[in-house]
Every structure is written in structure tokens, then in C-alpha cells.
């Protein structure tokens, strides 16, 4: 049976447009929105500033429990609002790599700022560490999310790249 090239092209475009919309929505929802971003950053800042105050062990434990609890509430609220649901196998390795890289960057910033602020008062040192770590988190979040979401868009493999002419 002969294939009409014109009809095949129209069919491909009809399929591709909704697929591109799905990828666009995924990129928009990858960061969780401004509320999630700034809420996470604010919680991180309060936690790091609190840890920098030389609290007793029970105080650090209480602060850690409050941090994890509030962060969990933020994640649950955001996941309930998210319209985009992907099967877990659609989360590529780039997402895990971006998460790991962010953890290394923020953790490295905390360690480095700890060494640089040793001569300061504990409270002031904690504020500097918290501010530096949150600044690194906020500055690296956008590019990391775009890089991770781009892998989902290009996840079709070589065949998809040939069709689009990339």
C-alpha cells in the first residue's frame, strides 16, 4: 500500500504539537513554582542560621525535625497542586544528577563558608553561612531545572532528532 507523504507529514505534526505541549508543561512544573522555590530557600536559611547558633544537641535535633517536617509539608502541598504526573521511569538520570550536583554545591558552600567565618561570632557566622548557601541554591536551581527538563524533551532518542532535523 503506497504511503502519501503529505498525509504522513500532517499526521506527524498533529501528534507532535500535543507532545510539545506536554514537554512545555513539564519544564514549567519542574521547579515547582516560585512558592516552592522561595519556601524551600527560606526554610533552608532558617535551618542553617539556627544550626550556626551553637545550639545544644537536643536543640539541633528539634530544629532538624522541624525542618524536615516543614519541608515535607511543602513537598506534599506542591505535589498535590501539580498537574503534571509522569511515571517514575520518565524521570531521567539528569534529574538525579541535578539533585546530586545541587546537594554537593550547597553542602560545599556550607563547608567553605564555615572555614571562612571561623573568626566571626557564632551567630554572625551562621547568618553568613545560611545566606551564602541559599544564594548558591537559588542561583543554581534555574539552570539545573532547565538542563534536567531538556533531557525529557530530547528523550525520544536519535529517531526523534532525525525527524526534527536537529
Residues 109-165 pLDDT 10s? 989 988 888 888 888 888 999 999 999 998 888 777 777 767 666 654 443 444 444
Residue keyed to cell 544528577: 97
Q: Cα–Cα distance between 3 and 87 in angstroms, integer?
A: 34
What's 37's DSSP letter? H
Residue 36: partners with Cβ closer than 8 Å, 6 or more residues away? 74, 78
Q: What is the pLDDT confidence band of residue 103, given thresholds at 50, 70 and 90?
A: confident
Task: Tell me the CA distances in angstroms from 125 to 19, 56, 71, 77, 132, one per residue in order.
Answer: 49, 17, 24, 33, 11
Per-chain mean pLDDT for the chain: 77
The pTM assigned to this predicted structure is 0.66
If one compares 161 and 76, the residue with the highest pLDDT of the two is 76
pLDDT band at 20 (very low <50, low <70, confident <90, very high): low
Amino acid at each position: 500500500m503506497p504511503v502519501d507523504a503529505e498525509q504522513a507529514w500532517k499526521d506527524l505534526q498533529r501528534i507532535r504539537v500535543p507532545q510539545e505541549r506536554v514537554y512545555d508543561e513539564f519544564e514549567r512544573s519542574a521547579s515547582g513554582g516560585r512558592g516552592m522555590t522561595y519556601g524551600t530557600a527560606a526554610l533552608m536559611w532558617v535551618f542553617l542560621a539556627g544550626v550556626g547558633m551553637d545550639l545544644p544537641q537536643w536543640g539541633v535535633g528539634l530544629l532538624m525535625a522541624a525542618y524536615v517536617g516543614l519541608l515535607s509539608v511543602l513537598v506534599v502541598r506542591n505535589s498535590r497542586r501539580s498537574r503534571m504526573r509522569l511515571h517514575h521511569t520518565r524521570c531521567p538520570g539528569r534529574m538525579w544528577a541535578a539533585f546530586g550536583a545541587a546537594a554537593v554545591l550547597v553542602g560545599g558552600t556550607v563547608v567553605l563558608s564555615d572555614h571562612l567565618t571561623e573568626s566571626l561570632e557564632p551567630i554572625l557566622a551562621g547568618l553568613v553561612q545560611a545566606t551564602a548557601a541559599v544564594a548558591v541554591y537559588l542561583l543554581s536551581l534555574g539552570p539545573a531545572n532547565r538542563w534536567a527538563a531538556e533531557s525529557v524533551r530530547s528523550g525520544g532518542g536519535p529517531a526523534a532528532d532525525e525527524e526534527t532535523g536537529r
